[in-house]
């Protein structure tokens, strides 16, 4: 069956080549987020074009803010399916939380029959799950993120401490190190408390550490209110006890990352991209940072990090669907992901996390592999962004103490139930 699928793909691309010889090369437009550091996209596009002379790829970078990217795609895709219309692009880089929404809206090309059997098997299970909705494949895993704990390895070693496995151990480490270092600039634990998607992610990780979830197996919102209250109190209490500074309630990834990278904190919750910046030339913390799982609330409940990253989707209104699918499959291939892994993002293919050539540059990849295997995706639902947007004000109110955790949970349940009622 794999040979048959590849033969079909070859015939489709041969058709593209015949058309190109008659009418000139077809142009496929790839919309993607701007990459940090050395952008690998031009190299990947050049390699693809060299192998597919009948196809030209035009790349167009969007801003780095996920909310702005989402707005751009929604505006352009909503009116793309009428006669003679099109979104102006063929392949798009999608946040992992968008696939169910875009597939349900009819904006994505169903890729199920375009793939060889088992083509997604080598990717992280959570990445492959994010590519599927309603039993079909709508996108291809491309790059990867997982929530994790950064720690100042030099400070922990100096004071005879291991990376904290629980909140109690993290609190003890912060108190001890701050007391001995006597540096008023040295903060304890930094995380993302600003009212945006990052706060939702931090709250989900706290819910999981408390042994509950945002949506229950039956679809109920915050099915265990007592544990949900415990999860929100956990975030509030970190600030109240001074383990986290007040300003984390307005912090996003970059604000918290810069503070830790300047040597002004002991612990940080963030994504893997930050490690490359910590290890960059001139970094004040170069060679002094370690990676560990997020701390558990208690010893008997796991505390998985949330997953993130990007997938590649093809517009259902593409005028060149065969060429667009060929580009998406190439960008998701091992060859292309190896190029990505040598830059500032992580691959979704698990085997690359133990590749000797990549380990020479990024020795922390096996640790990230282990953390990714136990990580959890955000709820896979077409309503996710609606849920997150409705939830964020309640989370923020609890974090800053405007509402008690019990009131915030009760109000969140009402708001989310109302948001879901329109699509059920």
Q: Which strand (E) or helix (H) includes residue 249?
A: none
Give the mean model confidence (pLDDT) for residues 131-150. 96
DSSP 246: G
CA–CA–CA angle 117, 119, 125 (5° rounding): 115
Gap between the Cα atoms of 89 and 316, Å rounded: 10
Q: Closest Cα partner for 114 from 312, 356, 325?
A: 325
Instruction: Give the C-alpha separation, 170 to 189, whole Å.
Output: 8
pLDDT at 169 over 90: yes
Mean pLDDT of 282-298: 95
Question: Which among 237, 239, 271, 226 is positioned nearest to 253, based on CA atoms?
Answer: 271
pTM for the whole structure: 0.89
Length of the chain as a residue count: 424
**Cβ(55)–Cβ(326) under 8 Å?**
yes
Average pLDDT over residues 141-149: 95
Query: Does residue 21 have a pLDDT over 60?
Result: no
Per-residue pLDDT band for 5 (boundaries 50, 70, 90) equals very low
For 337-351, the DSSP string reads HHHHHTTTSEESBGG
Q: Is the dihedral of CA 197, 199, 202, 204 positive or negative?
A: negative
CA-to-CA distance for 416 and 397, rounded, in angstroms?
Answer: 16
How would residue 2 be classed by pLDDT, with cut points 50, 70 and 90?
A: very low
Tell me the average pLDDT across 128-151: 95
| CA-CA-CA-CA dihedral for 394, 397, 401, 404, to nearest 10 | -30
Residue 404 CB coordination number (10 Å): 15
Q: Strand (E) positions, 130-210?
A: 132-133, 136-137, 140-146, 148-152, 187-190
Which residues lie closer than 8 Å to 260 by C-beta, 6 or more apart?
Answer: 150, 190, 268, 270, 274, 278, 285
Cβ atoms of residues 369 and 354 within 8 Å: yes
Mean pLDDT on 288-305: 92
Q: What was the pLDDT predicted at 67?
A: 81
Please identify which residue in the block is written with the tokens 């540096």.
Answer: 183
Q: How far is CA 150 from CA 159, 190, 265, 424, in A?
A: 17, 10, 10, 40
Do 155 and 175 meet the contact criterion of CB atoms below 8 Å apart?
no
End-to-end CA distance of the chain: 38
Confidence of residue 7 (pLDDT cuts 50, 70, 90): very low
pLDDT in the model for residue 14? 47
Q: Is 17 exposed, middle or buried (0-12, 13-18, 19+ CB in 10 A)?
A: middle
Residue 361 scores a pLDDT above 50: yes
Cβ-contact 10, 24 below 8 angstroms: no
pLDDT attached to residue 97: 93
pLDDT score of 20: 44
The CA R_g of the chain, rounded to the nearest whole Å, is 23
The answer to whether 315 touches 324, Cβ cutoff 8 Å, is: yes
Per-residue pLDDT at 121 exceeds 70: yes
| 3-state SS, one letter per residue, for 366-380 | HHHHHHHHCCECCCC
Output the pLDDT for position 36.
66
Tokens 């003890």 appear where? 172
Is the confidence at residue 207, as pLDDT, over 60?
yes
Chain Cα centroid distance, residue 158? 33
Residue 424 has pLDDT above 70, yes or no: no
Task: List, in order of start, the domains of the chain with CATH numbers.
Answer: 2-145+307-373 (3.40.190.10), 148-305+383-421 (3.40.190.10)
Give the mean model confidence (pLDDT) for residues 260-289: 96
DSSP letters, 259-319, are: HHHTT-EEEEEE-THHHHHHTSTT-TTTT-EEEEPPPBSSTTS--PPBEEEEEEEEBTT-S
CB atoms within 10 A of CB 247: 15
Model pLDDT, residue 17: 46
% pLDDT > 90, the chain:
80
Q: Residues 77-87: pLDDT tens digits? A: 987 666 556 67
**Segment holding 1, helix H or strand E:** none
pLDDT per residue as tens digits for the range 86-106: 678 999 999 999 999 999 999
Model confidence at 422: pLDDT above 80? no
Pick from 348, 360, 191: nearest CA to 265 = 191
pLDDT class for 49, splitting at 50, 70, 90? very high
């Amino acid at each position: 069956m794999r040979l048959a699928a590849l033969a079909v793909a070859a015939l489709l691309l041969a058709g593209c080549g015949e058309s190109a010889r008659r009418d000139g090369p077809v142009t496929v437009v790839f919309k993607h987020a701007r990459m940090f550091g050395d952008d690998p996209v031009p190299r990947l596009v050049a390699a693809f074009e060299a192998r597919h002379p009948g196809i030209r790829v035009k790349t167009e970078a969007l801003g780095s803010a996920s909310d702005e990217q989402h707005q751009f795609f929604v505006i352009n895709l909503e009116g793309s399916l009428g006669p003679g219309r099109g979104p102006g692009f063929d392949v798009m880089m999608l946040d992992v939380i968008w696939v169910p929404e875009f597939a349900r809206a009819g904006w994505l090309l169903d890729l199920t029959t375009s793939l060889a059997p088992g083509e997604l098997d080598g990717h992280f299970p959570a990445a492959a799950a994010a590519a599927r909705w309603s039993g079909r494949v709508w996108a291809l895993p491309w790059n990867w993120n997982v929530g994790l704990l950064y720690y100042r390895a030099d400070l922990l070693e100096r004071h005879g401490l291991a990376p904290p496995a629980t909140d109690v151990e993290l609190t003890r480490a912060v108190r001890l190190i701050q007391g001995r270092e006597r540096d008023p600039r040295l903060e304890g634990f930094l995380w993302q408390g600003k009212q945006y998607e990052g706060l939702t992610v931090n709250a989900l990780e706290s819910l999981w550490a408390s042994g509950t979830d945002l949506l229950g197996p039956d679809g109920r919102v915050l099915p265990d209110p007592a544990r949900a209250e415990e999860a929100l109190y956990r975030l509030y209490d970190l600030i109240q006890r001074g383990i986290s500074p007040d300003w984390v309630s307005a912090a996003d990834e970059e604000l918290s990352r810069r503070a830790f990278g300047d040597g002004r904190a002991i612990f940080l919750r963030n994504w893997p991209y930050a490690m490359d910046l910590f290890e960059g030339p001139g970094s004040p913390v170069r060679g002094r940072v370690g990676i560990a799982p997020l701390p558990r609330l208690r010893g008997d409940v796991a505390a998985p990090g949330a997953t993130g990253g990007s997938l590649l989707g093809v517009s259902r209104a593409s005028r060149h669907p065969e060429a667009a699918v060929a580009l998406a499959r190439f960008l998701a291939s091992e060859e292309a992901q190896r190029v990505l892994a040598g830059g500032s993002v992580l691959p979704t293919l698990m085997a690359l996390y133990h590749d000797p050539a990549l380990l020479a540059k990024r020795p922390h990849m096996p640790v990230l592999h282990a953390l990714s295997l136990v990580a959890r995706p955000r709820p896979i639902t077409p309503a996710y962004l609606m849920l997150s947007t409705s939830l964020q004000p309640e989370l923020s109110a609890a974090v800053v103490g405007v509402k008690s955790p019990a009131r915030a949970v009760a109000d969140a349940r009402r708001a989310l139930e109302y948001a879901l009622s329109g699509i059920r």
